[in-house]
């Protein structure tokens, strides 16, 4: 299949290699560009664990501190793998979303164990701090990166869509999906999606892309990359 991958560049490159190994043609079209944010007041004092909800957060954290001694509770397998690659040894993975991460926190830690440091971007999905705070946990959110949205689809992407060469588009976040559809409509290419399958990590992704009509909407059984790839 001819697929478009919309993740940020680092994740898209890794995913594209995997998809090409499976025989697919891949066009990388990042909808978000990750920008590190300096946090001179990064405070890990009294922390019981790090809550990591993306590989981008892992990379940003690794750039700003040499500490690798704290336990890591990661939102899913990909984030956990990134944490291990960055040198963290005590890493546990949840089921792929912040609800599952909150469950993992309750299983592993008690409120009296200490502060939970949530390494996050400037925009977050869900209310992890509120969910855990209701049970007495203290969550300290630390913003270490921002994500800037793309302002134009690339010429190769526009040409492939206009020529009817695209079989499917992979979306991993509502923000990426909404941005892609917005740019698609700006270029007058909304009708092209009638012959394209949407592959989404969640129903929220599909809702964000609902301003155009898709040939089919394929939603992962669980919000994990392996579950999304199983749909291909």
Cβ contact 198:169 at 8 Å: yes
Q: How far apart are CA 170 and CA 199, in angstroms?
A: 5
> For the chain, what are the domain ranges?
2-31+150-229, 34-147
- Return the CATH architecture of domain 2-31+150-229: 3-Layer(aba) Sandwich (3.40)
| Biggest CA pair distance of the chain | 59
Q: For the chain (length 232 residues), average pLDDT per consecutive 10?
A: 95 94 97 84 88 92 92 93 95 91 96 94 79 93 91 97 97 95 97 97 94 97 90 94
pTM: 0.80
CA angle 65, 69, 75 (to 5 degrees): 85
Q: Tell me: domain 34-147, CATH 3.40.50.300, correct?
A: no
Q: Residue 182: what pLDDT?
A: 97
Specify the pLDDT at position 110.
96
How much is the pLDDT for 215?
Answer: 97
| Proportion of the chain in helix, strand, coil states, percent, rounded to 5 | 40, 25, 40
Q: Do domains 2-31+150-229 and 34-147 have the same CATH topology?
A: yes
At 40 the pLDDT is 65
Query: What is the helix (H) or strand (E) element at residue 213, kind and residue range?
Result: none
Residues linked to residue 27 through DSSP beta bridges, in sequence order: 4
Per DSSP, helices labelled H in 40-96 are 55-64, 77-85
């Amino acid at each position: 299949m001819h697929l478009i991958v919309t993740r940020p560049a680092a994740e898209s490159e890794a995913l594209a290699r995997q998809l090409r190994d499976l025989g697919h043609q891949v066009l990388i079209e990042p909808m978000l560009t990750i920008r590190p944010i300096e946090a001179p007041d990064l405070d890990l004092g009294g922390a019981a664990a790090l809550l990591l909800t993306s590989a981008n957060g892992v990379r940003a954290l690794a750039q700003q501190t040499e500490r690798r001694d704290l336990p890591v509770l990661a939102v899913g397998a990909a984030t956990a793998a990134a944490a291990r690659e960055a040198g963290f040894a005590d890493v546990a993975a949840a089921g792929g979303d912040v609800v599952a991460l909150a469950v993992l926190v309750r299983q592993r830690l008690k409120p009296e164990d200490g502060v939970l440091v949530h390494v996050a971007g400037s925009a977050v999905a869900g209310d992890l701090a509120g969910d855990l705070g209701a049970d007495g946990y203290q969550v300290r959110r630390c913003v270490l990166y921002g994500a800037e949205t793309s302002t134009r689809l690339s010429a190769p992407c526009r040409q492939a869509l206009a020529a009817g060469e695209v079989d499917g588009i992979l979306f991993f976040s509502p923000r990426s999906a909404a941005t892609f559809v917005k740019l698609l409509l700006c270029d007058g290419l909304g009708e092209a999606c009638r012959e394209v399958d949407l592959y989404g990590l969640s129903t929220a992704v599909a809702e964000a892309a609902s301003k155009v009509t898709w040939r089919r909407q394929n939603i992962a059984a669980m919000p994990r990359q392996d579950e999304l790839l199983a749909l291909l």
